[in-house]
Amino acid sequence: MKSELRYGIIGAGSMGREHIENIKVMGGATVTAISDPHTPSQEAALAMAPGATVFTDHRALLESGLVDAVVIATPNDTHAAVLKDVLESDLAVFVEKPLATTVEDLKSILAWDEKRSAMTWMGLEYRFMPPVAEAIARAKEGEAGKIHQVSIREHREPFYPKVDNWNRFAERTGGTLVEKCCHYFNLMDIVVGEQPVRVFASGGQAVNHLDEKYDGTQADMLDNAYVVLEYANGARGMLDLCMFGEGSFDKEILTIVGDEGKIESFLPSQVLRASRRDSIGKLSGWKTGAARTPGSEQKIIHNYDVKYMGHHYGASYIEHTKFRDAILNSTPAEVTLKDGVTSVVTGLAAHKSINEGRVVEIKELWG
């Protein structure tokens, strides 16, 4: 077991640098190599990890012998090509969401990963946001009874600019419901305990990026959508997305409703609320149990072990510590490529539903 892991960062844009910040402060790890063809990104990352060796090609980084683990944070449509090379190595791998942008690439990645013994970790940090993690854990413990509905509302600001404006185009990102919302579909699947069987969605580009053209091509990322998921066990999920709703007090709200109660998490306020139903459907106090106070419950959930809050309420830090510990202790990845596949397939199905104006069965994309 190594005492300190050497990390290579492949893709030193905004998210790659976010990973560097987390690795720097968590302990037991150091960034020794950076790969990115974009000089300003190289320079910005090197300022954060001044001892690292810089490469312009990820293959040179892989062959350098300088790293024990790599983090892939390149543009979405490059993940498959980068993973083809990385998964041939015996390095531990952390790949940012979304895993890929097409079903064909998803299938190829799974085939490549089957041939290796080293760990591959799927980066889906939203499940580690402290109030979200608590809400999910309590739902799994049965505090809301049998789960029938899971809804997520995100009302936020538009997409930030990125290098070469790659995140302005569905062809490169997979579309908004893949790029941004794979996180949320993954959370719904965790709560329900399975993948949806069908998807119906309605969405469009109403406000954002309408006057943006790059090399003569109009930006085409959706900025609003409703997505409804149906599960084989009868549960339903619903996403309410608005990317011109930056005036919202709480931008992200997860609501879990079962036949015995309701659990909600709110961000950025980091509040968790929970309540139970009595036999005639009225709110009542929590049933007698450990650490449960009467009446509806509300509290702030904060993880004081987090050393860097970053852009995700400390979730990226928590996920990185789990990734590091899994490598050092030779334990399996907590977040797997299967999570990456199912969350992307749901997003692709939602886009297909919008484009074709109909309900889409998941089996149409993934048998």
What is the 8-class DSSP label of residue 165? G
> Which pLDDT value is given to residue 295?
57
3-state secondary structure of 105: helix
Q: Which two tokens stand for residue 202?
A: 């309605």
Residue 322: closest CA among 55, 22, 39: 22
How many domains does the chain fold into?
2
Judgement on whether residues 81 and 206 belong to the same structural domain of the protein:
no
Report H helices in the chain: 14-26, 39-48, 58-63, 79-86, 103-114, 130-140, 170-173, 176-179, 182-192, 315-329, 337-356
Residue type (1 letter), 135: A
Whether the per-residue pLDDT at 202 is higher than 60: the answer is yes
Instruction: Output the pTM of the full model.
Output: 0.93
What would the pLDDT profile of 23-71 be if each residue is shown by its tens digit? 999 999 999 999 999 999 999 999 999 999 999 999 999 999 999 999 9
Residues 60 and 202 in one domain: no
| Predicted local distance difference test score (pLDDT) of residue 288 | 40
171 inside domain: yes
Both 156 and 205 in one domain: the answer is yes
Cα–Cα dist 249/51, whole Å: 41
Nearest to 182 by CA among 195, 197, 193: 195
Within this chain, do residues 218 and 250 fall inside the same structural domain, yes or no?
yes
**Same domain for 213 and 153:** yes
pLDDT at residue 322, as a whole number: 97
Task: Give Rg (Cα) of the chain.
Answer: 21
**What is the CATH classification number for the domain harbouring 118?**
3.40.50.720
Listed range (87-101, 303-317, 319-333) with the worst mean pLDDT: 303-317
Domain assignment of residue 348, yes or no: yes
Is the domain of 114 the same as that of 96?
yes
Say if 322 falls within a structural domain: yes
Handedness of CA 300, 306, 310, 314 (dihedral sign): negative
Residue 200's CATH number:
3.30.360.10
Domain presence at residue 244: yes
CA distance 204 to 176: 10
Would the pLDDT of 360 be above 60? yes
Q: Taking the alpha carbons of 183, 58, 164, 313 in that order, is the dihedral positive or negative? A: positive
User: Can you give the residue range of the structural domain that contains 21?
Assistant: 5-124+312-336
Percent of the chain whose predicted confidence (pLDDT) is above 90: 92
Q: Are 338 and 182 in contact (CB under 8 A)?
A: no
Indicate whether 150 and 161 sit together in one domain: yes
188/114 same-domain check: no
Residue 25 backbone phi and psi in degrees, to 5 = -100, -10
Let me know: does 259 contact 146? Beta carbons within 8 Å. yes
Q: pLDDT, tens digit, for every residue of 226-254?
A: 999 999 999 999 999 999 999 999 999 99
Contact 222, 175 (CB under 8 A): yes
Does 176 reside within a domain?
Answer: yes
Contact call for residues 26 and 310 (beta carbons, < 8 A): no
Percent of the chain whose predicted confidence (pLDDT) is above 70: 95
C-alpha–C-alpha distance, residues 285 and 350, integer Å = 39
Do residues 283 and 276 touch, judged by C-beta distance below 8 A? yes
Q: What is the pLDDT of residue 84?
A: 98
- CA-nearest of 72, 28, 24 to 51 is 24
Q: Residue 304: what pLDDT?
A: 87
Mark residue 89 as left, alpha or beta (left: phi above 0; alpha: psi -120 to 50; beta: remaining): beta
Q: pLDDT at position 286, please?
A: 44
Q: Are residues 237 and 88 in the same domain?
A: no
Domain contains 367: no
Q: By C-alpha distance, which of 265, 259, 255, 254 is closest to 234?
A: 259
Closest by CA position to 200, among listed 358, 21, 44: 358
Mean pLDDT of 83-106: 98
The pLDDT of residue 291: 45
Residue 286 lies in a domain: yes
Mean pLDDT score of the chain: 94
DSSP-derived 3-state class of residue 194: coil
The token duo for 247 is: 């005036």
Apex 52 CA angle, 323 and 331, nearest 5: 15
Give pLDDT tens digits for 102-155.
999 999 999 999 999 999 999 999 999 999 999 999 999 999 999 999 999 999
Together in a domain, 144 and 266:
yes
On whether residue 58 sits in a domain, the answer given is: yes
What pLDDT, on the 0 to 100 scale, is given for residue 292?
45
- Same domain membership, residue 299 and residue 207: yes
Neighbours of 74 (CB within 10 A): 23
Q: How many CA atoms lie within 13 A of 122 on its CB side?
A: 25
- Same domain, yes or no, for 78 and 20? yes
